[in-house]
Amino acid sequence: MGRLVLDQTQSDQVHGARFPVEVCDSAGVVLGKFVPAGVYREWIEDPEFFEPIDEATRQEALRDLAAGRLRTTADLLAEFERIRQTPRNRP
């Protein structure tokens, strides 16, 4: 992960934030979102953050997967690798 060092004014603006904040450039274009470390820890440690799905939803997802309407992470990674290795015609 990269690191962005804030100047004192910027640091003061996000210090103590209790919610995610948008990070914008001087024109107001959103560059990303900052999640304070304490908030991130709460999300990860909260057992209800990643709620388990009910059996009916799981069965529906399995049917969609079998019918080719969903793709697994492994399938997507394999396709990305295939694309990465495909020779490109460059001028």
Q: Per-domain residue ranges for the chain?
A: 8-45, 55-85
- Burial (CB count <10 Å: 0-12, 13-18, 19+), residue 28: exposed
Q: How far is CA 10 from CA 30, 78, 84, in A?
A: 15, 41, 38
Q: How many other CB atoms are found less than 10 A from the CB of residue 62?
A: 11
- Render each residue's pLDDT in the chain as its tens digit; 91 residues: 678 888 898 888 888 788 888 888 889 888 888 888 888 877 777 766 666 778 888 888 888 888 888 888 888 888 888 888 888 776 5
Model confidence pTM above 0.85: no
Tokens describing residue 3: 């690191």
